[in-house]
Chain A
Amino acid sequence: MIKAAGIAKSFGRVRAVRGVSFTVEPGQVAGLLGPNGAGKSTTIRIITGFLPADAGIVEVAGFDMRRASLEARRHLGYLPEAAPLYPEMSVVGFLRYRAKLFGIAPRDRARAIGAAMERCRVEAVRTRRIGHLSRGYRQRVGLAAALLHDPPVLVLDEPTSALDPSQVVETRELIRDLGRTRTVLVSSHVLGEVERLCSRALIIAGGALLADGTPAELVRRHGGPARYVVEARDEGRRAEPALRAVMGVAAVREERAEGQWRRLAVEAGTDAPDLREPMAAALAGAGVAVRELSPRHASLEDVFLRLLRAADPAREHAA
């Protein structure tokens, strides 16, 4: 389990993290999302014990990061951003060093190293120097080092940033698998990644936690009013007034026109029910042929941008 309660950190006059609180339970993969300078890295560094918080409490696997720091770190596997490693060491030499550092008994070392290399698919380069590896392999070696001591808590900062598409899929699968029994916190800029990988998203900006929930919950809670797409043959321009007349429709806007076909975006009012059926009936009544009428689901990206704009109105103008 990871527990952060009211953590705050300032660097001089800059308040990097302001009273962030959340708990990630075992069996959860939580994604920490935020724009550059949001306080993501500082939050991660406080959780992993690299930086002390000015205020608040961090617990990792039940151990207080301030009072029982070594015990907390023993239960933590951490992959920092860009997976920093020693380039002069071989892959297996580096993993052996990390195994000793984490106090893995000599009789268990070879098995632990073998298992971590197999999970992260780095056996093929076990004797190669780390400095001679591709960035993707280096990232996987860093992940193997984080998994070596079989920690109950994993903190992974941008774990797939250097991987090719097939490696991204494999690594996501691995993280999902690890998350079944462990507590996993993943930091990422890639919203789609969090949507696919995480059972929970924590959105942070300006050092404060803006939202916390499953991606579906966040979309439902912060995704705004429902939207629909209608594509209709509408030479007489009867579709738009017919849609506007439907109870619950707040706005209709033409997105594009191709010959006699027009694509319309419909925005429902707040708390409006599912409008597909009344819209279909209204269009049929107006004699308009329809080839598409579908809801347009808000994505985590929409939620993210909406929350950022709400938190910082300056972004609204910039966007």
Chain B
Amino acid sequence: MSASAVIAGREFRSFFRLPVGWVVIALYAALTGVVFAAGTLQPGGVATMRDFFALSAWLMLPVTPAISMRLFAEEARSGTLESLATSPVSDAQVVLGKYLGALAFLVAVLVPTLAFVATLWAVADPRPEVGPIVAGYLSLVLLGGLYLAVGTLASALTSNQTLAFLLTFFFLVALLLASGTRLDFVPDWAQRAFYAVSIQRRVAEFAKGIVGLGDTVFFISGAACFLALAWGALESRRWR
């Protein structure tokens, strides 16, 4: 078993041994439950979860930083980073392992929302289309993966979990606002740049059932960039 898989496994299981893991699961289930009940489950409405998935970019905002904040910050605070960094494991394997563990936990957080799909499936006539739902869940994993990569970087930069949470949260809020709102005071080239990294636009495409290669590559490459920066931040700890 590779070192990254070992670290990912430990990380994934640790979320279920800590209160923060269960709070995240409950928080996300509650938030998505409200959106589903108020927005999707409408008598006489069209059986679609498009709005539910389109709102996911915002719903994940408080959840993903809560998952990623402890990845490195807690290891640095408690001193376990020293044991980990002196094990026969490269820093890149450590970053990848921790990220994959957090991503696996995010998938576990999404599992309870399948109850909403089952409910819609049971009560709607005609039944909802399967394609957009699968694409919607794919978008949640890709989006969550990008958010977690940002959070992994923030956690590698500090030994304070609260600070890691806030750095991630406000960065993502700024990114969503800048890329999803028309800002008249910024020059055209900046507006085009913000549009190019727009997250809501891409999630909306997925919610329609359109799995675009460009959008998929955007999320994966974005996550890879932030993970590379997290690796750099971890390496830089040795030189500080």
Chain A interfacial positions (CB closer than 8 Å to B) = 11, 45, 48-52, 70-71, 73-74, 76, 78, 80-82, 84-89, 97-98, 100-103, 145
Distance of A51 Cα from B86 Cα, bound (Å):
9
CB distance from B130 to the nearest CB of A (A): 39
Question: What's the count of A-B pairs with C-beta under 8 Å?
Answer: 62
Q: Does B1 count as interface, using CB distance less than 8 angstroms?
A: yes
Most buried by B among A51, A84, A145: A84
A-B CB contact pairs (8 Å), 9 listed: A11-B240, A49-B86, A70-B90, A76-B86, A80-B83, A80-B86, A82-B79, A87-B78, A101-B88
- CB distance B238 to A101 under 8 Å? no
Chain B 226-240: CB-based contact to A (< 8 A → 1; otherwise 0): 000000000000111
Residues of A within 8 A of B7 (CB): 101
A-B CB proximity, top 5 nearest: A84-B79, A88-B17, A74-B88, A100-B6, A73-B88
- CB distance B80 to A84 under 8 Å? yes
Residues of A within 8 A of B85 (CB): 49-50
Distance of A81 Cα from B82 Cα, bound (Å):
10
- CB distance B87 to A97 under 8 Å? no
Distance of A97 Cα from B6 Cα, bound (Å):
7
Q: Does B173 count as interface, using CB distance less than 8 angstroms?
A: no
**Chain A residue with minimal CB distance to B16?**
A88
Q: Does B123 count as interface, using CB distance less than 8 angstroms?
A: no
Using A71-B88, A88-B18, A89-B17 as known contacts, say yes or no to A52 and B239 having CB atoms under 8 A apart. yes
CB distance from A56 to the nearest CB of B (A): 15
Q: Does B117 count as interface, using CB distance less than 8 angstroms?
A: no
Q: Does B27 count as interface, using CB distance less than 8 angstroms?
A: no
Distance of A85 Cα from B79 Cα, bound (Å):
8
Distance of A74 Cα from B86 Cα, bound (Å):
9
Residues of A within 8 A of B78 (CB): 84, 86-87
Residues of B within 8 A of A84 (CB): 78-80, 82-83
Q: Does B14 count as interface, using CB distance less than 8 angstroms?
A: yes
Distance of A76 Cα from B87 Cα, bound (Å):
8
Using A50-B238, A88-B14, A88-B18 as known contacts, say yes or no to A101 and B79 having CB atoms under 8 A apart. no
CB distance from B145 to the nearest CB of A (A): 24
Q: Does B134 count as interface, using CB distance less than 8 angstroms?
A: no
Distance of A70 Cα from B89 Cα, bound (Å):
7
CB distance from B239 to the nearest CB of A (A): 7
Distance of A100 Cα from B5 Cα, bound (Å):
10
Q: Does B182 count as interface, using CB distance less than 8 angstroms?
A: no
Distance of A98 Cα from B3 Cα, bound (Å):
10
Distance of A205 Cα from B58 Cα, bound (Å):
55
Q: Does B192 count as interface, using CB distance less than 8 angstroms?
A: no
- CB distance A89 to B1 under 8 Å? no
- CB distance A85 to B1 under 8 Å? no
- CB distance B86 to A89 under 8 Å? no
A-B contacts besides A50-B238, A101-B88, 13 pairs, CB < 8 Å: A48-B86, A50-B82, A51-B238, A52-B239, A76-B86, A84-B79, A84-B80, A85-B80, A86-B78, A87-B78, A101-B3, A101-B87, A103-B3
Using A97-B10, A101-B3 as known contacts, say yes or no to A80 and B79 having CB atoms under 8 A apart. yes
**Chain B residue with minimal CB distance to A77?**
B86
- CB distance B88 to A102 under 8 Å? yes
Most buried by A among B14, B18, B86, B238: B86
